[in-house]
A and B are shown apart, each in its own frame.
Chain A
Amino acid sequence: MNLKYLYALIITAAIFATAFYIANRFNQSRIADIRATQEAVSVDILSLETQFELLGNLDCQAISDNPVLSDELNSLASRLSVAEQNLGANNAEVISLKKQYSLLEIKDYILMREISQKCTKLKPVYILYFYSNSGDCADCNKMGDVLTYLRQTYPGLRVYSFDYHLDLSALRTLVTLRKIDGAKGLPAFVVNNKAPVYGFKTLQEMQKLIPELKTLATSTPIQ
């Protein structure tokens, strides 16, 4: 009689272990996929940089018509967010991926600035957004929602999101260069080359802060 209780316990524990294993495998696949995408984006950026250096100029029309890189970065951001939810923000692999992602964002940002200087007709609108997951930014979720909405509404808008507390020297340099002071409160963001703005802003306030948005095409009618 007692053996049946033991067998049931072993089988149930085995089912739970299998569920844990499958979930782990899915997470590993997710990580591998993100890493592969990041490598692809990295190669794209390197290719664009090389072209830029070789020719000293580019086909400006091709760049303005082809926001592939931006799409890839946005897709990476969503995948990283899901991985962070599943594995936790303190997971070593998630942190490593976030660092790599931040580096790609910085490289894309620098490249876009250089390209826009050469291609004068190109007037990119970009936001450097600094958030925190460390419990010191109550409004970061709301701000993230506003920026996500803006990015979906204006596909030409480039939003570069950075975890302010991420231990990455390149990010620290960017923070210093753009004079972001976390002590003044997060979220913080920089629109194009303007001065940093601190605190949560509603959608309407963001639209007032970034009049350049009117120059960008929209994917859906603005409400």
Chain B
Amino acid sequence: MDIGTVGVYCSFFLALYFEVFLLISFFEKKPAAKTSSRPARYPMAAVLVPCWNKAATLGPTIESLLALDYPKDKLSIVIIDDGSTDNTYEEALKFAHHPQVTVFQKQNEGSKYSALNYGLAKTESELVGCLDADSFVAPDALLEIVKHFEVDPQTMAVAPAMKVHRPHNVLELMQTVEYTFGIFYKKMFDNIGAISVLPGPFSFYRRSLFDQIGGFRKAYHTEDMEMAFRMQSHGLKIANVHTALVYTNVPSSLGALVRQRTRWSRGFLENSKDYSYMYFNPKYGHFGLLVLPFGLSAFLLALYVAGFTLYNLLSLVLNKVFILYATGIPLGLPASYKVDWLYLNTDMMLFVTAAVLMFTFVAIAIGSRIAETRLGLKHLAAYFVLFGLVAPLWLARATWDTVLSRERGWLV
């Protein structure tokens, strides 16, 4: 066995270990079903909606907030137009007459965090949430979140379950499965107290949190990740409320997807560097012992496996082309195919790969059950065929940017 293959086996061992660990956590504490109970008290809640050039989706986003099942006098919506160059501000003003809505306009400062802090300064609500202007909430999402804050006073921030809004093309179908997988592992991270990101779509915070650890930071355009890292570093509890559903638009083109994921991946690398003292530190629980080290290992090993596969594939093709050229054998299909398992390569790698895929499938199935997402064959086919091909693109780009300290800006 060559050293390259040993590396692939190590990668698969780690991937499998991580999946097994999360599945053990699942069986230890299965996610509770949604109940029809209502909170005993309705605290004042504000939703910050930072938007930059989101004229097309802002309207439906605000309408979904206005349709929330929550006392109108207890919920305020703060729209912050972050210096849009389209007619986002005009779209926002259409809702300005609504007593729950206030609209602000500020100059763009190159990253979302400043818009969030701007909005934060404009509200005194006990609970503060944010919602990207291309996402839409389920009517009971806020109720579910408030119920959790009420049940667990230790919880300082809550992340919802995110689903893809109306997927159409193959990339969106792929992301639907990816988000479903995300619902599973975020819930499992909750089980082990190691949530690593508070996503822009409908994460909620207790107001007192910001007094304690400060507002949002630029953090390489991943203020949502940095906030979670900072909370973990202070031992502050983050929960995942899988019954609070949020639907978000996802990039529909490869370019937009790669740009978005490069930003996320770069954010992970840079934040990992800033919070490197948490790695393998038992003081930070599973976050320091499992989530951070495995996140970084997965990042690097995924790049390694992709590079190794690409190298082997190119070698195979070039070798074949060379042999065809050197031997003079005409290019063509074999005269006949024999279907016989004896001709199949049945080495250990095949079965290990099958095990990793099977565990991934189980995780997706659990995620699908948790969030009641219906996945068809086309969703799964898009994910299992495409994800491994496109993910290395943003992982490599993010690594490249980090090495060169290249600034790309808040592109998506």
A binding-site residues for B, Cβ under 8 Å: 1, 4-5, 7-9, 11-12, 15-16, 18-20, 22-23, 26-27, 30, 33, 75, 78-79, 82, 85-86, 141-142, 145-146, 149, 152-153, 200, 202-204, 219-220, 223
**In the complex where A19-B348, A141-B323 touch, is A8 in contact with B20 (Cβ < 8 A)?**
yes
**Residues of chain B lying within 8 A (CB to CB) of residue A200:** 326
A202 is contacted by which of B13, B327, B332, B338 (Cβ under 8 Å)?
Answer: B327
Does B311 interact with chain A (Cβ within 8 Å)?
A: no
**Residues of chain A lying within 8 A (CB to CB) of residue B330:** 223
A-B contact pairs, 30 of them (CB 8 A): A1-B285, A4-B21, A4-B24, A5-B290, A8-B24, A9-B17, A15-B20, A15-B352, A18-B351, A18-B355, A19-B354, A19-B355, A23-B350, A27-B346, A30-B342, A78-B343, A79-B342, A79-B343, A82-B344, A85-B345, A141-B323, A142-B323, A142-B326, A146-B327, A146-B328, A146-B329, A203-B327, A204-B328, A220-B335, A223-B332
**Residues of chain B lying within 8 A (CB to CB) of residue A9:** 17
- Cβ–Cβ contact A7 & B24, under 8 A: yes
The 10 closest A-B pairs by CB, nearest first: A19-B351, A26-B346, A223-B330, A8-B21, A203-B328, A202-B328, A23-B348, A12-B17, A8-B20, A19-B352
**Residues of chain B lying within 8 A (CB to CB) of residue A11:** 20, 24
Report the bound CA distance from A200 to B327 in whole Å: 9
**Residues of chain A lying within 8 A (CB to CB) of residue B341:** 26
A4 is contacted by which of B16, B25, B326 (Cβ under 8 Å)?
Answer: B25
**Residues of chain A lying within 8 A (CB to CB) of residue B147:** none
B2 to chain A, nearest CB (A): 12
Report the bound CA distance from A30 to B290 in whole Å: 41
Does B286 interact with chain A (Cβ within 8 Å)?
A: yes
A15 to chain B, nearest CB (A): 5
B345 is contacted by which of A82, A204, A220 (Cβ under 8 Å)?
Answer: A82
- Cβ–Cβ contact B24 & A149, under 8 A: no
**Residues of chain B lying within 8 A (CB to CB) of residue A5:** 21, 289-290
**Residues of chain B lying within 8 A (CB to CB) of residue A4:** 21, 24-25, 28
Report the bound CA distance from A141 to B348 in whole Å: 25
- Cβ–Cβ contact A33 & B342, under 8 A: yes
- Cβ–Cβ contact A22 & B20, under 8 A: no
- Cβ–Cβ contact A145 & B352, under 8 A: no
Which residue of chain A has its CB nearest to the CB of B343?
Answer: A82
B322 to chain A, nearest CB (A): 9
Does B376 interact with chain A (Cβ within 8 Å)?
A: no
Report the bound CA distance from A58 to B221 in whole Å: 85
**Residues of chain B lying within 8 A (CB to CB) of residue A27:** 346
Which residue of chain A has its CB nearest to the CB of B21?
Answer: A8
B binding-site residues for A, Cβ under 8 Å: 13, 16-17, 20-21, 24-25, 28, 285-286, 289-290, 323, 326-330, 332, 334-335, 338, 341-348, 350-352, 354-355
- Cβ–Cβ contact A145 & B323, under 8 A: yes
**Residues of chain B lying within 8 A (CB to CB) of residue A20:** 348
B1 to chain A, nearest CB (A): 9
Which residue of chain B has its CB nearest to the CB of A218?
Answer: B335
Report the bound CA distance from A222 to B341 in whole Å: 30
A121 to chain B, nearest CB (A): 27
Report the bound CA distance from A85 to B351 in whole Å: 17
A17 to chain B, nearest CB (A): 10
- Interface of B: prevailing SS: helix
Report the bound CA distance from A7 to B23 in whole Å: 11
- Interface of A: prevailing SS: helix
- Cβ–Cβ contact B16 & A12, under 8 A: yes
**Residues of chain B lying within 8 A (CB to CB) of residue A18:** 351, 355
- Cβ–Cβ contact A145 & B327, under 8 A: yes
A86 is contacted by which of B25, B346, B351 (Cβ under 8 Å)?
Answer: B346
B80 to chain A, nearest CB (A): 41
B346 is contacted by which of A1, A23, A79 (Cβ under 8 Å)?
Answer: A23
**In the complex where A202-B328, A223-B332 touch, is A16 in contact with B352 (Cβ < 8 A)?**
yes
Known pairs A20-B348, A27-B346. 8 more at Cβ < 8 A? Answer: A7-B24, A8-B21, A12-B17, A26-B341, A86-B346, A141-B323, A142-B326, A204-B328
- Cβ–Cβ contact A86 & B347, under 8 A: yes
B43 to chain A, nearest CB (A): 33
**Residues of chain B lying within 8 A (CB to CB) of residue A79:** 342-343
Report the bound CA distance from A204 to B327 in whole Å: 8
- Cβ–Cβ contact A149 & B329, under 8 A: yes
Which residue of chain A has its CB nearest to the CB of B22?
Answer: A8
Report the bound CA distance from A48 to B285 in whole Å: 75
Report the bound CA distance from A204 to B328 in whole Å: 7
Which residue of chain A has its CB nearest to the CB of B354?
Answer: A19
**Residues of chain A lying within 8 A (CB to CB) of residue B332:** 220, 223
Report the bound CA distance from A152 to B341 in whole Å: 21
A75 to chain B, nearest CB (A): 8
Report the bound CA distance from A23 to B25 in whole Å: 30
**Residues of chain A lying within 8 A (CB to CB) of residue B13:** 12, 16
Report the bound CA distance from A189 to B355 in whole Å: 46
Report the bound CA distance from A82 to B335 in whole Å: 20
- Cβ–Cβ contact A145 & B329, under 8 A: yes
Report the bound CA distance from A199 to B344 in whole Å: 31
Which residue of chain A has its CB nearest to the CB of B12?
Answer: A16
- Cβ–Cβ contact A12 & B20, under 8 A: yes
Which residue of chain A has its CB nearest to the CB of B289?
Answer: A5
Report the bound CA distance from A219 to B333 in whole Å: 13
**Residues of chain B lying within 8 A (CB to CB) of residue A223:** 330, 332
Count chain A CB atoms within 10 A of each CB in B289, B335, B341, B346 and give the residue with the most: B346
- Cβ–Cβ contact B286 & A1, under 8 A: yes
**Residues of chain A lying within 8 A (CB to CB) of residue B348:** 19-20, 23
B283 to chain A, nearest CB (A): 13
A15 is contacted by which of B25, B329, B355 (Cβ under 8 Å)?
Answer: B355
**Residues of chain B lying within 8 A (CB to CB) of residue A30:** 342, 346
